[in-house]
Amino acid sequence: MTKDQFTVQILDMEKTLYRVACGILRSEADREDAVQECILKAWEKRSALKNDGAFRSWVTRILINECYDICRRGQKLVVMDELPEQAAPPELENRELRDAVDQLEDIYRLPILLFYVEGFNIREVAQILQIPEGTVKSRLYAGRGKLRESLGEEVPE
């Protein structure tokens, strides 16, 4: 993979990388650090990627690892309900949904983000999170149940 090809594919993933980082880290600075490390590591290890079709899920997994590294290094374990409020971007219309997702525990939030927001299929989510497909399904089911508790019946499909 050439540098140009790599750059194009990473830029195509910009929104995915941002949203996944948002799902784990609350500080913009941390998110930027995580994506920088992710890009550097993905470039360095690109020869390990056997199937170019899996680039998106592979990079996402690297990013998640980097986010958790940042959490560990800073002892900033994500406990969403203890974190200070963060101003919603002005263009954000569904603040309630975001708050409800942010309140979910990691084990539910990440599968929900990857499946519903990023459009990864069950198998890809399982590979990214290194958990069985059955566990992905059960976490999606349980996660939606928790969102329904917070939002009533208005959980988007």
Partner 1 sequence: MKRSWEDLYGEVPASFETRMRDTLASLPAAEPVDIRRFRFRPSALIAAVLMVMLLTGAAFATDLFGLKSLIVTDPYAQISPTASPAASDLIALQGFPESPEFKANSEWMDALAAARKAPDPVWTAEYPYSLYSVSSPALQARLDEITARYGLKLHSTVRDFDSEEELYALLGCEDSFFSNCAAISGYVYEDGSFHGDGTSVAGICYEYQFGRYGKGSFSEVTLHVGNPNDYEEWLYTTKEGVTVQLSLGPDRCVLMADLPSSFVAVNLLGGTRGDGLYMPDPVTRQGLETFAELFNFSALG
- In the list 49, 78, 80, 97, the residue contacting partner 1 (rule: CB under 8 A) is 97
- In the list 27, 65, 103, 150, the residue contacting partner 1 (rule: CB under 8 A) is 65
Task: Quote the CA–CA distance of 126 and 27 in Å, as a whole number.
Answer: 27
Task: Quote the CA–CA distance of 6 and 8 in Å, as a whole number.
Answer: 6
Short-list 155, 73, 76, 62, CA closest to 117: 155
CB 112, CB 46: distance < 8 Å: no
Structure tokens at 84: 């200070």
Task: Please tell me whether residue 105 adopts helix, strand or coil conformation.
Answer: coil
- In the list 49, 78, 103, 116, the residue contacting partner 1 (rule: CB under 8 A) is 116
Applying CB under 8 A, which residues contact partner 1?
A: 1-3, 6-7, 10-11, 14-15, 17-19, 22, 28, 31-32, 35-36, 39-40, 43, 47, 51, 53, 61, 64-65, 68, 72, 88-89, 91-94, 96-98, 101, 107, 113, 116-117, 121-123, 126-127, 129-135, 138, 142, 151, 154-156
